[in-house]
Structure 1
Amino acid sequence: MRRVEAEHLWPVAVALSRFERAFRQPGRYLSGPYESPGIEIEEGRDDLDVALRHLPARARADLGRLVERIDAEFERRTLPDPGWASEWTAGRWWWWRIRER
């Protein structure tokens, strides 16, 4: 069994915290930055994606179920932005969403 060090889980904890704060916002649509300009919850989703690729199977399954719920809520509270997709965001649909309405 592969051991996961606590220091590698810190980005996961921060990402989950960012989404928790964002989803507490009232209203149908999410708006602007949550922590400070340049620190986006989409970066937190990137961290979760990395964790999903590196965690052992059982932990990956547990986090995967949580990420599925996060993705569904994020998609529900944002709008598509088909004009913003770039090579940098390839495969990372969460960067192609508009949070502000």
Structure 2
Amino acid sequence: MWPNAVAVALARFEWVFQQPGRYLNASEASSPGIEVEDARDDLEQAMLHLPAGAKRDLGRLITRLDEEFERRTLPEPHSVESAMFGWWWTRTRER
């Protein structure tokens, strides 16, 4: 992890959740390495290295982000192979 990795990842979620509408727009954030799913990967990685108290605090934030991300995306029926990277890679946005 690099300095401010968690802050950058959280900022990506904040940015993508500012999109209007019920579902996230795929065209708004579709560059490899900077998608919100990549930010979620970074948060998952950070959780592996945090002390217990910080892990609980970040875990609460992640739970809220996950709920909103799930609410604003749709299941991707052809993403079985992506599931090994995290459930968030098995979701799709409106195109």
Q: TM-score, normalised to structure 1's length? A: 0.83
**Is residue 37 of structure 2 the alignment partner of residue 42 of structure 1?**
yes
Letter in 2 for 1:69: R
TM-superposition CA deviations, 1:24-83 (whole Å, max 9, x none) = 111000012545622211000000001111100000000000000000000000000131
Q: After superposition, where does 1:1-80 map in structure 2 within 5 Å?
A: 8-32=2-26, 34=28, 37-38=31-32, 39-80=34-75
Unaligned runs of 5+ in 1: 1-6
Gaps of 5+ in 2: none
Q: Distance in 2 between the 1:83 and 1:35 partners?
A: 20
The structure whose Rg is larger is: 1
The aligned length equals 94
Higher normalized helix content (fraction of residues): 2
Shift of 1:19: 0.3
C-alpha contact (below 8 Å) 2:13/2:36 kept by paired residues: yes
Assess if the C-alpha contact under 8 Å between 2:6 and 2:43 holds in 1.
Answer: yes
Q: Which residue does 2:78 correspond to in 1? A: 83
TM norm structure 2: 0.88
CA-atom RMSD in angstroms: 1.9
Identity %: 55
Q: Note the C-alpha offset of 1:84.
A: 1.5
Q: In the alignment, what sits opposite 1:3?
A: none
